[in-house]
Amino acid sequence: MQVRELTTERRNRATKNLDRMSSLELVTIMNREDARVPRAIARVLPELAQAVDLVAERLGQGGRLIYVGSGTSGRIGALDASECPPTFGVSAKMVQFVIAGGKKALLTAVENSEDSVVMGRKDMAARRPGKRDVVVGLAASGYTPYTISALQYARSKGAATIAIAFNRNSPMGKVADLRIETGVGPEVLAGSSRLKAGTAEKMICNMLTTCAMTRLGYVYSNLMANLNLTNKKLLQRGMTILQELTGVDREQAAAILEKAGRSVPLALVMLKAGTSKTESVRRLRMAKGNVRKAIEG
């Protein structure tokens, strides 16, 4: 593989005079190039929908979503994984990340780690992937040895695998059950895949978890009905959610939240279904946390 042949490594003709541009010209050209990202993602929406269904199915079976990547890609996976518990009220074990170089790489570049096939397999093996899990490989180039070997190991153990890359027919795509490969074009700064490719990865990860969690019922209407009320702002948001969905006033919302142990989904079922706390807990358990199903009985 010749790196210079990859779309993600090519020079962008529109930015060859980058170092001569004014600040306004710089931000204008970056904004123009960034606008290509959502258009590129639109071309792979059918594949993304398949990925959402796959993630929702495995999580619904009690499995896990495990992101794996190196550098920027690994950090984006880590970011999305870390946001799921506070947003959807799920266990931190449900959505996980594996990054080349370990947690140290979240703060400091550990560039040589991405070349290690052995570490990719070892780090993934430590998570003990199985038939209920889905592993998502993130690599802008699609050629990262660490991520490819991690995906191969996960697939050999029965986990479903998804490859997200920005070069067509990538080696990573070839070892995955489902590939999502879209071209965002050469970067403004040649080879700096933290730019458009990184933005695209973030957008795709947003879709995977938000849509899968919505399918699983951790969202009611378009509100975060399952969020954890861990600070004053979130407590206020929880009360607002109850007001929006049930029509109670602020004091009633606060009172029912306290009765429900500050559990928004439990309070919501109690109010919408008109059931006792005990019955509402039972409904949520039977519905596996799906708020709408619990309300509808």
pLDDT at 270: 96
Q: Which residues pair with 181 in a beta bridge?
A: 165
Each of the 297 residues of the chain gets a pLDDT tens digit; together they read 566 678 888 889 999 999 999 999 999 999 999 999 999 999 999 999 999 999 999 999 999 999 999 999 999 999 999 999 999 999 999 999 999 999 999 988 877 788 899 999 999 999 999 999 999 999 999 999 999 999 999 999 999 999 999 998 999 999 999 999 998 999 999 988 899 999 999 999 999 999 999 999 999 999 998 988 889 999 999 999 999 999 999 999 999 999 999 999 999 999 999 999 999 999 999 999 999 999 998
User: pTM here?
Assistant: 0.92
pLDDT at 115: 85
* C-alpha span between 275 and 57 (Å, rounded): 29
Catalytic residue positions, numbered: 83, 114
How far is the first Cα of the chain from the last one, in angstroms, to the nearest whole number?
56
Domains contained in the chain, CATH given: 3-215 (3.40.50.10490), 232-296 (1.10.8.1080)
Centre a 10 Å sphere on the Cβ of residue 172 and count the other Cβ atoms it contains: 27
Q: State the sign of the Cα–Cα–Cα–Cα dihedral 24, 27, 30, 34.
A: negative
